């Protein structure tokens, strides 16, 4: 039913950064619009709220916010659209969605705790491994 909804179109190469930006926002909107469908398909009602999913998606967008090369942005958009298509057409399974978009990365939350507030990079690396 949703197979045709999101045909992965290879976007023509963005001319400028503004066009890439516009395309990014379009993609974000389409991702947010498909959140209710995703929750219905994978039965995530008791697991997560739509706003949490939105925040997660936004965080993943923000991770790449520093990129200025339009070709790279186009590539990332392509991959994102492919991923969104897979999720919406039920090509993934519940544990994928929970693991990738609900639980999040513990490493980041650990570092932002109060344990290592004043620690230097040396100490943070020291606690992790010997080779840095």
Measured from the CB atom, the residue of 16 and 109 that comes closer to another protein is 109
Of 103, 102, 81, 83, residue with least CA distance to 39:
102
- Total Cβ atoms within 10 A of residue 127: 10
Q: Please give the Cα distance from 19 to 41 (Å, whole number).
A: 32
Q: Report, in Å, the least distance between residue 108 CB and another protein.
A: 18
Measured from the CB atom, the residue of 25 and 126 that comes closer to another protein is 126
Q: Report, in Å, the least distance between residue 130 CB and another protein.
A: 5
CB 56 within 8 Å of CB 101: yes
Q: Report, in Å, the least distance between residue 95 CB and another protein.
A: 30
**Site residues, another protein (CB under 8 A):** 115, 119-123, 126-127, 130-131
């Amino acid at each position: 039913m949703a197979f045709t909804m999101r045909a992965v179109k290879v976007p023509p190469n963005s001319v400028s950064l503004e066009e890439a930006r516009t395309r990014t926002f379009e993609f974000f909107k389409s991702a947010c619009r498909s959140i209710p469908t995703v929750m219905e398909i994978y039965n995530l009602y008791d697991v997560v709220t739509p706003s949490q999913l939105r925040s997660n998606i936004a965080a993943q967008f923000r991770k790449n916010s520093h990129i200025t090369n339009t070709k790279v942005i186009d590539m990332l958009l392509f991959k994102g659209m492919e991923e969104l298509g897979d999720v919406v057409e039920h090509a993934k399974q519940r544990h994928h969605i929970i693991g990738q978009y609900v639980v999040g990365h513990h490493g980041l939350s650990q570092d932002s705790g109060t344990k290592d507030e004043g620690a230097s990079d040396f100490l943070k690396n020291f606690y992790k491994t010997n080779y840095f």
